[in-house]
Structures are given as structure tokens and as C-alpha cells.
Amino acid sequence: MNELFRLPLGEIAEAAIDVLTDALAGFFGLIRAVFDGLYEGVDAALSSPPTWVVILVLAAIAWYAKGWKLALGTAAGLLVIVGVAQWDNAMDTLALVLVSSLIAVLVSIPLGVLAARSDVASKVIRPILDFMQTMPAFVYLIPALILFRVGVVPGIVATIVFAMAPGVRLTELGIRGVDREVVEAGHAFGASPWRILRQIQLPLAWPSIMAGVNQVIMLSLSMVVIAGMVGAGGLGGQVVQSLTRIDVGLGFEAGLSVVALAIILDRITGGFGAGRRTITRRKPAQPVSTDASDPGVRRTVPAA
């Protein structure tokens, strides 16, 4: 009886993937080549220099973002990763996170701007984001594996789809939260919509946008282990290896390295987000006194 009312959604999805694979094989091959090239370039930039150079550069970025305390904490966390012999795997993971986060941010911020400026676009995008956030992350790996085969690219694609939703939502929230009077003042002075967006809305929405970037990076790191299951390597591959071997020590060291990277990236992006959180306001002009008895009033002595 239940078979009569079964919806063949799984078969429809499988057929759609087959059609996409056959019709757009060259397109997906191009995407795979681009993502592979980006990943290998970032990985080479992180792995080729000596370890102490990378630590100094990341500590300098942390100093610029939030101060010397974060710089010391960043250096200490990276030294812990070196101490547990997970440096190469950590750089592979950091490259995957940076590439995935960069692509997710480049897609999510324009979508957030579009949703903030158009109610119709917002109503269309919101259910799609709900679907992306509630779908189990493992499900994204199935079509990614079919379209891009085993390797780092399926992990990047699944990470992008899973992580971009907060970027869209918080960008829209930040732009919609800008004071209407400020926007109306821009219109009153004859500013174009693009100029209002670039010089008023985006700067005032910066803390919310950076919070979205922060969440994109954190969700990308949460996909590290799942990406390791499809051959992405890095710390995720070490965690998967520890699970298959029941190796508690390896799992703890790899997990501790993931936590260290997560804290460093979280504090750095949080520091950049807080950089524009304080907006200086001019003091209201004091009323001019015309009372002759007021010592602050300048008196003009007529010429004799």
C-alpha cells in the first residue's frame, strides 16, 4: 500500500544528476581544474616558505587585526600544531578553508546585497538558504563525488554550499539595519543608488558582514572532517584515519590542531569586524549666546 503513494524524489534527483553529468561534463571539468589550481596555489603559498615565516606572517595579521595579545596567542597556537607534527596537514586544511571561504564570500555577499535591495529576491533566496542549512552535510558529498570525482574538489564544493548561507543572511540583515534617515539623506544630496550602497550602507553594515564572514569560515572548518572522507586530506584525513584505526592519540592531535586553527581564524576575523564597529559622532553644535553678560560673548568696541 505504501508503494502506491511513494514519491520518486530520489529517482528524479538521480536522473537530474545523470543529465547534468552527461550534458555539462566539460563545464564541471573546467570547475574542477579551476578549484584544483586555486587550492594548489594557496597550499603552495602556505607550505613552501619556512614554518617560522608563516607563523610570523599570521602573527602580524593577528597583531594588525586585534593587537599583540592575539599575535602571541596565534604564534602559540601554531607552535602547538608544529609540536604535534601536524603542520603540513594543517596548511592543507587552511588552504582548503581559505579557498572555500573566499568563493563562498564572493557569492554570498552579492546575494545578500540583492536580497536586501529587493523583497522579491529575498523571498526567493530565503527558502533556498533554509534548504541548504537544514540538509545534512553528508548529502552534499554525493552529487559532488559524482560530478567531480574523489579528491579535494568535492570537499571544496560541499563546503561552499554548506557554509555560504550565513554570509547571505547576515549581509542582508546588516544592510536592512542601516538607519533609513541616513539613506534618505544620501538620496537628498543626489547620490546614486550605487554610491549609497558603497559609501553608506556597506560601511555601516560592516560589522554584520564580517560576522557573516566569520560564520562562513567556522562552518568551512566544521566540514574539514567530512571533506577528509572524500580524499581532501589535511587534518580531516587524519581524523578519518584515526577513526578507522581507533587511534586516540592521532585523533586528539588532529582535533587539537583543528581547534587551534578555528580559534585563530575566529579571533582574526572578529578583530577585523570590530575595527569599524565604533562610529565617531560629532557633538551637537552649542547654541550661540547673545547675552551681553555672558563672558564667552566677544564684545566689539566701536572706534572713537
The residue that leads in pLDDT, 179 or 112, is 112
For the cut 80, the answer to whether the pLDDT of residue 79 exceeds it is: yes
State the chain's maximal CA–CA distance in angstroms.
114
Q: Which helix (H) or strand (E) holds 136?
A: none
Give the cell for residue 117: 535591495
Give the cell for residue 265: 581564524
Q: Are 95 and 39 in contact (CB under 8 A)?
A: yes
Question: What does the pLDDT read at residue 27?
Answer: 74
For the cut 80, the answer to whether the pLDDT of residue 58 exceeds it is: yes
Q: Find the range with the poorest average confidence among 73-82, 149-158, 178-187, 226-235.
A: 226-235
Task: Answer left, alpha or beta for residue 6, where phi above 0 means left and psi between -120 and 50 means alpha.
Answer: beta
Give the cell for residue 36: 584544483
Q: What is the pTM of this model?
A: 0.78
Query: Closest Cα partner for 147 from 34, 22, 33, 21?
Result: 21
Q: What is the pLDDT of residues 244-268, one digit of tens each?
A: 888 788 888 888 888 899 899 888 8
Question: What does the pLDDT read at residue 75?
Answer: 93
Residue 74, φ and ψ in degrees, nearest 5: -65, -45
